[in-house]
Chains A and B, each alone.
Chain A
Amino acid sequence: MNGWGIGFFREDQAFVEKSDEQVFSDQQVHESFQRLARVIDSRIIIAHVNCPKSGGLHLSHRHPLMLSFMDHSWLFAQVGIAEGIESYETVQGPRLDISVYTARIFEYLRDQMIITRERNPYISLFAALHLSIKKLLKNYPGNFAFFLVNESVLFAFCNFRSLSILRKSEKMGDVLLITSIGEGLSPNNWQTIAPKDPSKGKLMVVAGPDVLYAADI
């Protein structure tokens, strides 16, 4: 595995800690990753572990990526491969100055959400993202599984593989865990979220420890 990143929020501002080093080697979790896992205190935390296919050799290429739009600081992390999206030129700007297709996907979704919101200022975020993903799949078919989050909600989408979900009680209250690792992260009963034919993908939004809403694309 080629690096890792953890994204979180502090006073509504997104922050990312990334590394080029392997997250797990010699039967050891990377020391900084371990420490960050203990210390980061945020309503929403996302983490991404790179595989060589995700492209990019520099630290800046690691996910999560960060953009500010629609009055929020947003984080984006993705797995999968899309066709032709590398050539996408943002129509809204700013452009993320890295040449990895995940950046183009993030820009594309950002651009479409802004355009949709400009047409209808009170459209729900879920509807705006739903429309944007539909367009993305039409113009750039591919395999996508991603998290798009701001300081208060987490959107999760997948059109291949599946997402596993577990709601559990911790000392600090209930938490919801989501991962793209098929079998989940523990022996508990993880729920599987996966698109079923003829669905083109499953989008859900999580608020606090609850799945607020889920729908097919």
Chain B
Amino acid sequence: MCDLFALSANRDYSAPKSLPIFAEQAGKNLDGWGIGYFRNHHAYVEKSAKGIFVAGQLHDSFQRLARVVKSRIIICHVRLRTSGLIDECHAHPFVLKIGGYDWIFAHNGKAPAIESYESRAIAMKEAVSDSARTFEFLRDHLTQHFQQSSDVASIFEALSSCTSEMIERYPGKYNFFLSNGQILFIFTNHRQFMLLKGSKKLEGALLITTVEKGLSDEKWLRIAKSTCHRGMLLAVSGTDIIVCQPL
């Protein structure tokens, strides 16, 4: 199973401590990795189809990027293929425009049912995977929300409602990060997310990962399916959870 990591802070931050630990913990995931971040409201992704941690060695580029990438929100994904080919375009995170802005998406789980989803908008045809289709589904529904801008319905409710619909129509295991650079949305309906704020050993930002025991021996908060049967959606800004609700 793939693994996810995200850092969210009030200012531009790097993750030179936690990213390598995350890579090592998620070392069984041999099929690629990617780091997504924002600079001047634009999303950027560095990714590779190579193993992140091979023969006790962290991938050279990953190590360097962990030191250098600086952003209020950093999203990292390491891949164990369950859907799609092993190549760079199937590595996460993915970037798509929603409501005129760049959004970054990374997914962990298994949702073969959604592979049949056909987007009417621009599709990521090169990526044939459940994750790419999941992102397109969310993009299509959120775009609709932005187009109906006469409605003051919240973006959180829009995402909550389209995630619900997605799970209804395409049942599966979905853990994902979705961010526009201002807000990091976190959804889980399988495994768990571990959260830590104000770490003394790693970065002091808000750290989130799917790695079961967290990335340090500090007191990580576990958010899991047991917390809510259908899944939990969180919105994070800076180091704060702004909204947290079951689906």
Choose from B11, B155, B243 the contact partner of A210 (Cβ within 8 Å): B155
From 166 to 210 in chain B, residues with beta carbon under 8 angstroms from any chain A beta carbon are 180, 182-183, 195, 197
Chain A residues in 8 Å Cβ range of B238: 72, 150-152
How far apart are the CA atoms of A92 and B243 in the complex, in Å? 25
Are B235 and A212 closer than 8 Å at their CB atoms? yes
Q: How far is the CB of B181 from chain A (nearest CB, A)?
A: 8
From 138 to 163 in chain B, residues with beta carbon under 8 angstroms from any chain A beta carbon are 149-150, 152-157
Q: How far is the CB of B61 from chain A (nearest CB, A)?
A: 31
- Whether a CB of chain A sits under 8 angstroms from the CB of B242 is yes
Choose from B11, B221, B235, B237 the contact partner of A122 (Cβ within 8 Å): B221
Query: Given the known A-B contacts A124-B243, A124-B244, are A173 and B41 also in contact in the complex, defined by CB atoms under 8 Å?
Result: yes
How far apart are the CA atoms of A100 and B174 in the complex, in Å? 50
Are A212 and B152 closer than 8 Å at their CB atoms? no
Are A208 and B152 closer than 8 Å at their CB atoms? no
Are A122 and B243 closer than 8 Å at their CB atoms? no
- Whether a CB of chain B sits under 8 angstroms from the CB of A211 is yes
How far apart are the CA atoms of A150 and B237 in the complex, in Å? 11
Q: How far is the CB of B10 from chain A (nearest CB, A)?
A: 5
Are A127 and B149 closer than 8 Å at their CB atoms? no
Interface readout for A187-203 with B: 1 if CB under 8 Å, 0 if not? 00101010000000000
Q: How far is the CB of B38 from chain A (nearest CB, A)?
A: 12
Are A212 and B10 closer than 8 Å at their CB atoms? no
Are A122 and B242 closer than 8 Å at their CB atoms? no
- Whether a CB of chain A sits under 8 angstroms from the CB of B241 is yes
Choose from B11, B156, B182, B195 the contact partner of A213 (Cβ within 8 Å): B156
Are B154 and A204 closer than 8 Å at their CB atoms? yes
Are A211 and B155 closer than 8 Å at their CB atoms? yes
- Whether a CB of chain A sits under 8 angstroms from the CB of B165 is no
Q: How far is the CB of A87 from chain B (nearest CB, A)?
A: 31
Given contact pairs A121-B221, A152-B238, A205-B242, a sample of 16 additional A-B residue pairs in the complex whose CB atoms are under 8 Å apart: A12-B10, A70-B240, A122-B197, A122-B221, A122-B241, A123-B244, A124-B243, A124-B244, A150-B238, A152-B237, A207-B235, A211-B154, A212-B155, A213-B156, A213-B235, A214-B154
A residues whose Cβ falls under 8 Å from a Cβ of B: 11-12, 70-72, 121-127, 150-153, 165, 167, 173-174, 189, 191, 193, 204-205, 207-208, 210-214
Q: List 10 A-B contacts (CB under 8 A).
A: A12-B10, A70-B240, A72-B238, A124-B242, A127-B243, A165-B152, A174-B100, A207-B182, A207-B237, A208-B180
